[in-house]
Chain A
Amino acid sequence: MLRLVEADLLKLRRRRGMVAVVAAIVFGAVAIYYGVGVIVDAGDAGNFDSAIGVLALLASVAGAVIGATAGGADIESGVFRDLVATGRSRTALFFSRVPASWALVLGMLAIAVAASAGLSAVIADAPSAGDIARGAATVLVSGALTAAVCVGLAALTGRSGPVMGLALAFQLGVAPLVAQLDVLGDARLAIPAVAIARFDGAEGLVASLPLLAAIAIVLAWAAAALGAGLWRSRTQEI
C-alpha cells in the first residue's frame, strides 16, 4: 500500500503547474495578508486568528484542486484499467489516493500555518500554543476533508475538472450563503465549513455544537464521498 501511495504522490508532484498554482494561492495569501498588514498598520494587523480564517478558506481550495486531481487522474488518463489488470485490489488502488493528496495538501498548509504563527509573533502578539493548535486543526481538517471528498467524487464521476468546480462553488459560494439562512436552524451545522469552524472555537451558531458532533459531521461527509467513490471504483466495468 505504501508503494501505491508513493506512486500517487509522484503523479501529483510531477504536475508542476498545479502544485505551483496551489502553492502560490496558499503561501501568496499568507504573504499578502501579513504584507498588507504591515503596510496598512491597522489595529488587528498580523492577527493570527484572522490569518487562520483566510487559510481555512484557502485550505478548501487547495484540497479541492489536489483531491480532485488525485481522484480522477488514473481514470481520465485510462491508466486505471491497466492498474486493475495487475490483479491489485481496486479498493487499495482507490484508497492510496487519499493519503497521497493529504501529504501534498497538508504539507503546504502546515507550512503556511507555521509561517503565519511566526509572522504574527514578529508583527503582532505571539499566538499561544492553544491558538496555534486550534488554528492548525481548523486549517488542516478543512484541507483534509475537502481533499478526501474530492477524491471520492472524482472517482465517482471519473472527472476531476467538474468536481473541482463543484467543490469550490460549494465551499466558497453556496455554503457561506446557506449558513446565513436562519430558517434552516440547526440543519446548518451539517455544512462542513460550519462544523469545521467549531475546531477553532468559533462563536455564534457553532458554539452550541459539541466537538464530538463536529467531528462526526466531518467524518460523515468524508465517509459518504469516499464510499461513493469506492463503490464506483469497485463495480465499474472498464
Chain B
Amino acid sequence: MTSLAIETHGLGKRFGAHTALESIDLEVPRGSAFGFLGRNGAGKTTLVRLLLGLAKPTSGTMRLLGHDLPRDRAKALARVGAIVEEPRFHPHLTGRENLHVHAAARDRAAHGRVAGALERVGLAARADDPVKGYSLGMRQRLGIARCLLCDPELLILDEPVNGLDPAGILEFRNLVRSLVGEGRTVLLSSHLLDEVEKTCDFAAIVDSGRVMAQGTIEELTSISDERTIDIVAAPTVKAAGVLAGVPAIASAIEHDGGIRATLAPGAPRDADVVTTLLRRLLAEGIAIERVTPVTRSLEDQFLSMTTRLENA
C-alpha cells in the first residue's frame, strides 16, 4: 500500500484559452489532514473535480489511494467521500432519504451506515425532516454524513466550513481531527488560512493554478529567511535609535507600542543577537519589558507568496 493518498504529477486543466491548473505536483500523505490553500479562483475546486472524475485533465497524471485515474476510477473512488463546493441534495426528501439515495450508489453496506453517520454529525434528531427546511450549516453537516457512508479512507472536502457558525466550525475541526485519528486522510480545500492552520498537518499553497509551496504547516511558516523580533522597552524612541545602530539589525521601527527589529541577513543565531541587543540597551539605561520573536503565520506566508507572484 502506497504511503500517499493522493499523488498528482504535472496535472493541468484548460478551459479554452483559460488555464485553470498549470502543472500541479501534489503529494498528500495517508492518515493526515492536508490543506489545499488558495484564493477564490486559484484552481482549488478544479483540482477537486479532476480528482473525483467530474472533469478530465488536459495534462498530467493522478493516483488516488494507489489507483490510477481515470483508468481505475471506480476502485479509487469506492472509499472516497467528497463534498464539492456547497453540498446539494433533493430538497423534497428528508435527510435520511437523501443519504439512502446516495447509499444506493455505494456498496450495499452503505445503507447500514446511514443512522451512524447522522448521529456522528449531530443530525439524528432532524433526520426525518425535508432537507428544504435545513440551514446551510445543517446541509454542510449532512454533506459530511454523506461522505461517511462509504467508510472513507479519504475525504475530499471543498470549502466545508462555508455557512458554519463559530461553534459549528469548532465541531467541524474536532470532527476532522477525529477522522484523522481513525487513520483516514482528509484533503481540505479552503481559502480560510486560519482554518487550515488550525486543522491540518500539511498544506499546499496554490495560486493561479500552480502549487507555490507544500509541506508541514511548520515548514511552510518557516520558509522565509526574514527574522524579526518585537521588543517592548522604555523610552521607546531612544531604544529604537540604539537598536538601529547595531550591525546585526537591518531595521528597527516603532510598532504597536514597542519596536519591531528585523535582523540583517547573515546575523548570528537569535540567542546571540538578543544577548547583544539587551547588553546595548541596558548599557544605555533603557528599561526592557519584553522581547518576543515574531512567528510568521500561514497567513503571512500565503500573502507574501501570492503577493510576490502578483508583483512578478
Contact = CB atoms under 8 A, between A and B. Distances in A.
Interface of A: 3-4, 6-7, 10-11, 14-15, 73, 77-79, 81-89, 93, 237-238
Interface stretch (B83-91, B119-127, B227-235, B251-259): B83-91
Given A82-B146, A86-B77, A88-B74, A4 B105 contact: yes
B217 interface: no
B55 A237 contact: yes
A91 B118 CA distance: 29
Determine which residue in A10, A78, A87, A88 has the highest number of CB atoms from chain B within 10 A of its CB, and name it: A87
Determine which residue in A3, A85, A238 has the highest number of CB atoms from chain B within 10 A of its CB, and name it: A85
Contact of A86 (B55, B92, B93, B105): B105
Given A4-B104, A78-B88, A81-B88, A10 B93 contact: yes
Contacts of A3: 103-104, 108
A6 B104 contact: yes
Nearest to B48: A85
A77 B105 contact: no
Contacts of A6: 104
A7 B77 contact: no
A15 B92 contact: yes
Given A10-B100, A11-B90, A11-B93, A86 B54 contact: no
A10 B75 contact: no
A26 to B, nearest CB: 22
Given A11-B101, A86-B150, 14 more contacts: A14-B92, A14-B93, A77-B91, A79-B88, A81-B54, A82-B82, A82-B146, A85-B52, A85-B77, A87-B78, A88-B106, A89-B74, A237-B54, A238-B55
B105 A83 contact: yes
A77 to B, nearest CB: 5
Contacts, number: 80
Contacts of A14: 90, 92-93, 97
B88 to A, nearest CB: 3
A6 B75 CA distance: 23
Nearest to A7: B104
A78 to B, nearest CB: 3
B: interface residue count bin: 20 to 34
A85 B155 CA distance: 11
Interface string B16-50: 00000000000000000000000000000000010
Contact of A81 (B84, B106, B108): B84
State the majority secondary structure of interface residues on A.
helix
B102 interface: yes
A3 B112 CA distance: 14
A237 B77 contact: no
A87 B53 contact: yes
Determine which residue in A3, A84, A89, A237 has the highest number of CB atoms from chain B within 10 A of its CB, and name it: A3
B76 A87 contact: yes
A78 B87 CA distance: 8
Nearest to B111: A3
A237 B75 contact: no
A88 B105 CA distance: 6
A82 B66 CA distance: 22
A15 B104 CA distance: 19
Nearest to B130: A14
A84 B52 contact: yes
Nearest to B73: A87
A56 B61 CA distance: 54
